[in-house]
A = this chain, B = another copy of it.
Amino acid sequence: MLNRLGKQTLLFRNRPKVVGSYSVVGPKEGRGNFGKFFDKILEDDLFGEKSYEAAESKMLKLAITEAINNAKINKDEIDALFAGDLMNQIISSSFAARKLDIPYLGLFGACSTMAESLIMGSCYVDGGFARYAACATGSHFSSAEKQFRFPLELGTQRPPTSQWTVTGTGCTILGNTSTSNIYIENATIGKVVDWNVTDANNMGAAMAPAAMSTLKAHLDDTGRTPEDYDLILTGDLGKLGSEILMDLMEYNGYKIGNNYNDCGQMIFSNTQKTFMGGSGCGCGASILNSYIYSRMRNNELKSVLFIATGALMSTVSSQQGNSIPSIAHAVSIKIEGSK
């Protein structure tokens, strides 16, 4: 039997449950709009380590460990850890996994990784390949700036279309149990989309067409309209990218303004000078694993379509003059009893 809907959407008939979650963010994120929802706010983004890379890895390990505790299970019951991040060779994830002694499958989907890991975890739990799966990702402002842009010490001026990489990690534990009423209903795997944006300081514009492509495929495959969700939430398009996505959807005959928002647009307050808002794997991961699940647990949100978007360039591909290929994956998260 095929567990699919249409061309790009997977159907999880056994309804993998969100049985645990945890979020860790840096001090700046803690002072933003969602400070009261995050599970752990660091006082210092070095987190007692000697490098930002080590701090990022430690934050990821903490999110995974505490999400397992939050699920009230033992580490040994996690059959697979799906994790990835923005660092070259995803060292934050692999070095976190080194200390965890859990079977590990590394992912790279840039800032789409939270959705990608949920898709992988849902397949494993739904298909009986895992009792519990941990799905995690994160990013760190200082390690990302250093790797993708300039050393922080240079104090380089940021262009107005830029976004601020979120220092944050998040982990969701999925399991085939009845201990939670939040479940993963289905998911749409994205294709790589490239509309020839070459400006690495305008990720929102590069990623919006990918979000459009996946959202449209999701609606086509499921026969739904945007109004069928309480919330459609993109990962980190930021203010400009979100506007572009709304425009692109309108060209396709869909109005998504009322029940649509973007984690990048939401996470920082207007006084925090992040221009277009937040970005990075940790942006969607920290908001999903705190604010969103919290509102779902309280019955304030019954159906959320979480669409994490990723820009798939590297510094080398950009230096060689290539445009920015992007991708988006969508995950439909619901509470039991919702239509």
Q: Which residues of A contact B (CB under 8 A)?
A: 1-4, 7-8, 10, 50-51, 53-54, 76, 79-80, 84, 86-91, 94-95, 97-98, 100-110, 116, 119-120, 123-124, 126-131, 147, 189-194, 312-317, 320, 322, 325, 327, 329
Chain B positions within 8 Å of A91 at CB level: 312-314, 316-317
CB-CB under 8 A for A4 and B129, given A106-B312, A313-B89: yes
Could you list 18 A-B pairs, sorted by A, with CB under 8 Å? A2-B128, A4-B129, A7-B76, A86-B89, A87-B314, A88-B88, A88-B315, A91-B313, A97-B192, A98-B192, A103-B189, A105-B120, A106-B109, A106-B116, A106-B312, A106-B327, A120-B120, A123-B127
CB pair B325 A98 closer than 8 Å: yes
> Which one, B53, B95, B107, B190, contacts A107 given CB within 8 A?
B107
CB pair B128 A190 closer than 8 Å: no
CB-CB under 8 A for A1 and B128, given A94-B325, A105-B107: yes
CB-CB under 8 A for A3 and B316, given A95-B322, A108-B90: no
| Min C-beta distance of A114 to chain B, whole Å | 13
| A54 to chain B: closest residue by CB | B320
CB pair A127 B94 closer than 8 Å: no
Chain B positions within 8 Å of A123 at CB level: 123-124, 127, 129
Q: How far, in whole Å, are A191 and B99 apart by their CA atoms in the complex?
A: 10
